[in-house]
Amino acid sequence: MARQDVFFAGVPGAVRLHDCEGLLPALDAFFRLWPHAPQPAGLPTISGMLPSGLHETAPLLVITPQGRGYRLRSPWLPAPRYEPSRACLLCSLAIELVAACCHACPRLISLHAAAVRLHGRTLIFCGDNRAGKSTLVTRLMADAARGLGDDLLGLHQGKIFSFGVAPRLRLPLPSSPALKRFMNERPGIRDRHYGYLAPSPDDLAPWGERHAPDAVILLERTPGRRAVLLPASAATGMDNVLARFLIPDGGAPEVLRLGSQLLDALPCRILRYDDLDEAAGLLARQAPLLPPAAPLPADFPPVPDSSASCARPSAGRPPAAEPAGDAGDSRTLWQQRPGLSCRQAGQSIFLTDSHGNHIFRLDGTGAVVWQLLSAPLSRDEALSLLAETFPDVPKTRIRHELKQLFQALFKARLIEKAHKSP
């Protein structure tokens, strides 16, 4: 069985191709802006990388032919993944290479977002899979903006880190003459469903290039809507930005802190639009007018053990472990668990167990009750307080919602039974 090893900048271990000689030219073209070579010597690295623990010749990712497609094996996939085309394979390989970079460098955090340099400003685009991040980035590139990534970005030492992976656009393309012309001039690999751009370094930042972010733009694709740029509330910005982080094991507190610092430092806007050309024109006009951003810190302190405004100090006692399903009754006293990481955005509270992998959002009644839980509180006590505050809401509804809230907080290990005084 013929094999070929390819090493990538920032990735410990090789990508091993088994009987895939015909794949190598496509791989080289696809990753033209991500340095790679048959040997790791001389490839650039990332500041803060951990020792890999791998033998220099050990493969990290393995690709083998399977039928008309390929099979990709990765330590971050639960099982080998079948990809029916080269375009699909190279897309999945890029995702696994980004995961490998972030695993090797704990200070490099991955964002499921897009970014461009437009009129000297670095704009981060956040949105769901149908918000149009890739098409908008590519359309702006057609007007001489410089892409930093259309789907996966890094955040490293307070700056956006580009992986040099070309934009992937859903086919058929939107009805934008400028976009179609730009794609036709730079055609990359494609299949029936997606087409890649083949950008130059002038079009797209190569792997490892860093830029300080200047603004966050939340994309909302609304059919028939004229393009408009609106202020985003603190809670809306936080909710959208936190959802774009790919949280590493145990990394939720750091991600919560990073998201908070991003939104404290950067202006955040909502772009509602339908027509791609109209949205691109609006951004080109408005980008120079956005308020200046504050610089992000290059490094971050360790996660605090507790926050005086959001979590009760532990007083030297570890939290007791609750039996599964033991959520007590309406008279049971509960309190915030110690050691939580917590941030407030507007009227919403975002928090996570300091050893967890999830971030939780509390709004309205949930946020009020969370503040009350800084001291021991039962559901009956909470019901009495809320019924007095909201006399027009039926008590039965408040009681039901409180039961659901306390059960959810208990299940998420955000509250514990209050310790009785000796």
CATH number where 167 lies: 3.40.50
Answer for the pair 139, 179: CB distance below 8 angstroms, yes or no. yes
In sequence order, what are the beta bridge partners of 64?
Answer: 71
Is residue 311, in this structure, part of any structural domain at all?
no
Q: Are residues 92 and 200 in the same domain?
A: no
Is residue 148, in this structure, part of any structural domain at all?
yes
- Please give the Cα distance from 237 to 353 (Å, whole number): 21
Determine the 3-state secondary structure of 55 from DSSP: coil
Q: Are residues 346 and 213 in the same domain?
A: no
Last residue of a domain, one of 104, 134, 163: 104
Last residue of a domain, one of 79, 104, 129: 104
Answer for the pair 179, 148: CB distance below 8 angstroms, yes or no. no
Is residue 298, in this structure, part of any structural domain at all?
no
- Please give the Cα distance from 13 to 6 (Å, whole number): 9
Task: Return the closest-CA partner of residue 93 out of 158, 216, 189, 184.
Answer: 189
Q: Could you give the C-alpha distances from 103 to 94, 98, 242, 250, 261, in angstroms and in order?
A: 14, 9, 19, 12, 22
Is residue 136, in this structure, part of any structural domain at all?
yes
Cis? peptide before 248, omega within 30° of 0:
no
Q: Are residues 95 and 197 in the same domain?
A: no
- Full domain range(s) for residue 88: 3-104
Q: Are residues 96 and 146 in the same domain?
A: no
- Please give the Cα distance from 138 to 28 (Å, whole number): 21
pLDDT at 185: 97
- Please give the Cα distance from 138 to 147 (Å, whole number): 7
pLDDT at 62: 97
DSSP 199-254: --TTTBPPTT-EE---EEEEEEE-TTPPPEEEE--HHHHHHHHHHHB-PPTT-HHH
Q: Look at the chain and report how many structural domains it folds into.
A: 3
Q: What is the largest CA-CA distance in the chain?
A: 77
Is residue 94, in this structure, part of any structural domain at all?
yes
Q: Are residues 47 and 134 in the same domain?
A: no
Residues of the chain with pLDDT under 70: 1, 52-58, 299-327, 354-355, 420-422
Is residue 303, in this structure, part of any structural domain at all?
no
Q: Are residues 401 and 377 in the same domain?
A: yes
Q: Are residues 159 and 277 in the same domain?
A: yes
- Please give the Cα distance from 238 to 232 (Å, whole number): 10
- Please give the Cα distance from 236 to 218 (Å, whole number): 9
pLDDT at 339: 84
pLDDT at 393: 94
Q: Are residues 270 and 138 in the same domain?
A: yes
pLDDT at 71: 98
- Please give the Cα distance from 163 to 46 (Å, whole number): 12
The number of residues making up the chain comes to 422
Quick: pLDDT tens for 34-45: 999 999 999 999
Is residue 354, in this structure, part of any structural domain at all?
yes
Q: Are residues 149 and 209 in the same domain?
A: yes
Q: Are residues 86 and 181 in the same domain?
A: no
pLDDT at 303: 34
Last residue of a domain, one of 104, 130, 152: 104
Q: Which two tokens stand for residue 359?
A: 């971030």
Kindly report the CATH number assigned to the domain that includes residue 410.
1.10.10
For residue 366, the Cα-to-chain-centroid distance in whole angstroms is 25
Is residue 321, in this structure, part of any structural domain at all?
no
- Please give the Cα distance from 8 to 97 (Å, whole number): 8
